[in-house]
Amino acid sequence: EVTLFWFRRDLRLEDNVGLYHALQSKFPVIPVFIFDDAILDSLPKNDARVGFIHDSLAKINAQLQENGSSLLIKKGKTQAVWHALIQEFHIKEVYCNKDYEPYAIARDLAIGTTLEANNTPFFSHKDQVIFEEKEITKADGLPYTVYTPYKNKWLEKYKINGGVTEFDATSWYGNFYKSNFDFLTLEQIGFEESSIKVKPHNLSKIANYHETRDFPAIDSTSYLSPHLRFGTVSIRKLVNWAVRKNDVFLSELIWREFFMQILFNFPKVMTQNFKSAYDGIQWLNNEADFKRWCTGTTGYPMVDAGMRQLNQTGYMHNRVRMVVASFLCKHLLIEWQWGEAYFAEKLLDYELSANVGNWQWAAGTGCDAAPYFRVFNPEIQLKKFDEKGIYIHKWIPEFNLGYGKPMVDHAMARDRAIATYKAGILKN
Ligand code: FAD
């Protein structure tokens, strides 16, 4: 008789709410991770994110081995894997942490039904956010669609709660099931090492975050994003720390939760404009233009440097993400969904809620978005945020040799964007 704890996007033992509760069940706990074919089948064999997940699981396995236990790794279609697990073990209870993406919600509902048919309770806990779903709402109970009042309510609730409790389960580690399961290699899962790696996160420069975060040449952001995506750090620990260190940094962590609750409450944003008034825009969607954007050959140094950073490292600085996204939607009149999909393929920190939220912000189609008539000038952005060209030179080594002509003239593109948006909005 055993309890199973199902790891998903919470790849750590420390301050893991679902695991904390699992370890206090009456039965020894088998931790399990499932490589889900429904997700893996669409990825290239050297996808760096799969490598990062595998590395993170290896760390967890090493910690478990110190406690005489080990991680059970499975690969397959989730439903089939659970049917097999039910045959293999006498499972009394299953625990996990909640995942709010539409695919995950449907998956968990299906697995919950399977487990229920086996008389096995399935408990899921809030772990990846401080406030979830409809915990932060307006007075009328409806979700916020504007960031600042959401943030104020979030902070108020955090203070009323007296911060957020962390869940230390170390004294329960004796309750892990004694085991020595085979640890599947990356090759056994059908993948290979990527040359692109997730950087360790770095909180050492956060004291000056509010002054330095917009300058891509300064290495001053936290690099937390993939770690938050896969749960190799705890959001509770981080927020309790950020509250004492830097308000602007804390605000960014609240943006993350803002977009998560938007996706949860308005799942259509995944593919459709949040503001349907923008549905009538006549996008150009030119394939050749899109290719130049993807390959970082637009002739605008800041756009090109950003896209090259993304292609080579799986990361792009936030300021530059804003510039390249605006450029795609406004200068090239390509719909945000194309850019969103390209980022989803390349970003190590790809997070559906944040990616869609920020892309719609840049396109002007989202909640609390930049107004459509605001068109970033990539040259001015460069002067403001990379005055000495340090970032540009890093990603465009040939820059000094005379750089190519911009693929579109800024003044023309700006006027065209405003006119096209205006016409699209009027049409609807
Ligand atoms: P820091 O500046 O150190 O911020 C700390 C954390 O706050 C981040 O790790 C992230 O979790 C959160 N955060 C910061 N800015 C935002 C924001 N604007 N929206 C939501 N959360 C934020 N972030 C992702 O995690 N995944 C994505 O897929 C993603 N796509 C984006 C697409 C576009 C077009 C834009 C403009 C931004 C996108 N972002 C995305 C937000 C932001 O660019 C990254 O979170 C940030 O650059 C990650 O680097 P960092 O961890 O060093 O950030």
| 314-363 pLDDT tens trace | 999 999 999 999 999 999 999 999 999 999 999 999 999 999 999 999 99
DSSP 257-313: HHHHHHHHH-GGGGTS-SSGGGTT------HHHHHHHHHT-SS-HHHHHHHHHHHHH
- Non-local (6+) Cβ contacts of 353 within 8 A are 100, 101, 256, 259, 260, 262, 263, 264
Pocket probe mutation, ligand 1, options 201, 252, 320, max atoms within 8 Å of Cβ:
252
Residue 205: the pLDDT is 85
Residue 319: the pLDDT is 98
Pocket probe mutation, ligand 1, options 318, 330, 359, max atoms within 8 Å of Cβ:
318
Residues 236 and 367 in one domain: no
Q: Would you say how long the chain is, in residues?
A: 428
CA nearest ligand 1 atom 8, residue: 225
- Does residue 188 lie within any of the structural domains? no
Q: Ligand 1 within 6 A of 351 CB?
A: yes
CA dihedral 45, 47, 51, 57 (to 10 degrees): -90
Q: Check whether 195 is labelled as a binding-site residue.
A: no
Residue 80: the pLDDT is 98
Q: Ligand 1 within 6 A of 358 CB?
A: yes
What is the count of structural domains for the chain? 3
Q: Check whether 249 is labelled as a binding-site residue.
A: yes
Residues 288 and 412 in one domain: yes
CA nearest ligand 1 atom 20, residue: 256
Task: State the Cα–Cα distance between residues 255 and 238, nearest whole angstrom.
Answer: 14
Q: Cα(355) to centroid of ligand 1, in Å?
A: 8
Residues 330 and 230 in one domain: no
Residue 350: the pLDDT is 98
- Does residue 189 lie within any of the structural domains? no
Q: Ligand 1 within 6 A of 368 CB?
A: no
Q: Cα(406) to centroid of ligand 1, in Å?
A: 28
Helix (H, G, I), strand (E, B) or coil at 97: strand
- Does residue 179 lie within any of the structural domains? no
Q: Cα(112) to centroid of ligand 1, in Å?
A: 32
Ligand 1, atom nearest to 227 Cα: 9
Q: Cα(422) to centroid of ligand 1, in Å?
A: 29
Q: Ligand 1 within 6 A of 252 CB?
A: yes
- Does residue 56 lie within any of the structural domains? yes
Residues 325 and 237 in one domain: no
Helix (H, G, I), strand (E, B) or coil at 347: coil
CATH at 98:
3.40.50.620
Task: State the Cα–Cα distance between residues 176 and 28, nearest whole angstrom.
Answer: 5
Residue 427: the pLDDT is 80
Residue 426: the pLDDT is 82
For 94, 127, 269, 271, 386, the CA distances from 131, given in Å and listed in that order, are 23, 9, 20, 24, 36
Residues 306 and 356 in one domain: yes
- Does residue 176 lie within any of the structural domains? no
Q: Ligand 1 within 6 A of 345 CB?
A: no
Residues 117 and 139 in one domain: no
Q: Cα(116) to centroid of ligand 1, in Å?
A: 38
CATH at 223:
1.25.40.80
Q: Ligand 1 within 6 A of 321 CB?
A: yes
Q: Ligand 1 within 6 A of 253 CB?
A: yes
Residue 344 burial (CB < 10 Å; 0-12/13-18/19+)? middle
Q: Cα(94) to centroid of ligand 1, in Å?
A: 32
Pocket probe mutation, ligand 1, options 208, 225, 262, 351, max atoms within 8 Å of Cβ:
225
- Regions of the chain where pLDDT drops below 70: none
Q: Ligand 1 within 6 A of 228 CB?
A: yes
Half-sphere exposure of 112 (CA within 13 A, CB side): 13
Q: How far is Cα of residue 285 from the mean position of the Cα atoms in its chain?
A: 26
Task: State the Cα–Cα distance between residues 244 and 228, nearest whole angstrom.
Answer: 19
Q: Which structural domain range is residue 86 located in? A: 2-128
Residue 369: the pLDDT is 82
Q: Cα(284) to centroid of ligand 1, in Å?
A: 28
Q: Cα(358) to centroid of ligand 1, in Å?
A: 9
Residues 224 and 305 in one domain: no
- Does residue 270 lie within any of the structural domains? no
- Does residue 271 lie within any of the structural domains? no
- Does residue 184 lie within any of the structural domains? no
Q: Ligand 1 within 6 A of 147 CB?
A: no
